[in-house]
Structure 1
Amino acid sequence: MKLRCWLLAGFIGLGLTTPVHAWGQEDRSNYNNKMALLGVLLEGAKERAQDHGDIETLCLLLGIGADVTANYVNTAPNSQQINQRLVAMNNDLNMCITMLQKTALKP
């Protein structure tokens, strides 16, 4: 139950499908397309984590999303919206990695 609460709360802040308006049209479209695809993959990973304990895949996809977003932060470093999104994504990734480490230590 604790895992489900964390997953639901963490992904609210992720906001993968919210369009970003700070870059040129082509950059924004590329970013939004990547994040929309990643959002679909994350939905499946959330279900696998809840049903089968596959936290590794979830953490991997969160890391990919944070990396894609970090690359776009380099394109628009003054965008407050994307910087806030990156902070939230990194927080979600850190919580996922912590959860992964805790489950790996259990006998």
Structure 2
Amino acid sequence: MVGSPALSWQLGDRQAYNNKMALLNVMLEGAKQRAVDTDDLQTLCLVMSIGNDVTERYLQEHSSDQQIEQRLQGMRNDFTSCLGLLYSGQ
């Protein structure tokens, strides 16, 4: 059974999003370790911000994706916490 071109495009978009997030997750883990080792919260918050932006852009095109919408809510909460820690230490 051959899928529609629109479905193939959507699956391609989701795969591209997943690939970007996998790369960002590696960066996030490194930034978390750096924050623990050197107190560098700026890098951690920056990587979180990039992840939020990538996810928001994906949702602009795929607003019905509830799984990603829920993920974004959690990501926003984590980012807000990171900023709170960053600015409370300055």
Q: Same fold (TM over 0.5)?
A: yes
Write the mapping of 1:11-26 to structure 2, written as runs, cut at 5 A.
24-26=10-12
Counterpart Cα distance in 1 of 2:87 and 2:61 = 33
The question of 1:31 aligning with 2:13 is answered no
Identity of aligned residues (%): 51
Structure (1/2) with the larger helix percentage: 2
Counterpart Cα distance in 2 of 1:69 and 1:35 = 8
Instruction: Note the alpha carbon deviations across 1:62-90, whole angstroms, 9 max, x for none.
Output: 00000000001111111111110111111
The question of 1:61 aligning with 2:47 is answered yes
How many residues are treated as equivalent by the alignment? 82
TM-score by length of 1: 0.74
Q: What is residue 70 of structure 2 aligned with on the other side?
A: 84
CA-CA distance at 1:36 after TM superposition: 0.5
AA aligned to 2:41 is I
TM-score by length of 2: 0.87
Q: What is residue 30 of structure 2 aligned with on the other side?
A: 44
Counterpart Cα distance in 1 of 2:21 and 2:50 = 10
Q: Which of 66, 75, 79 is equivalent to 1:93? A: 79
Counterpart Cα distance in 2 of 1:42 and 1:63 = 10
CA-CA distance at 1:47 after TM superposition: 0.3
CA-CA distance at 1:57 after TM superposition: 0.1
Q: SS state of the match for residue 24, structure 1?
A: helix
Question: What are the ranges of 5 or more consecutive residues in structure 1 without an aligned counterpart?
Answer: 1-22
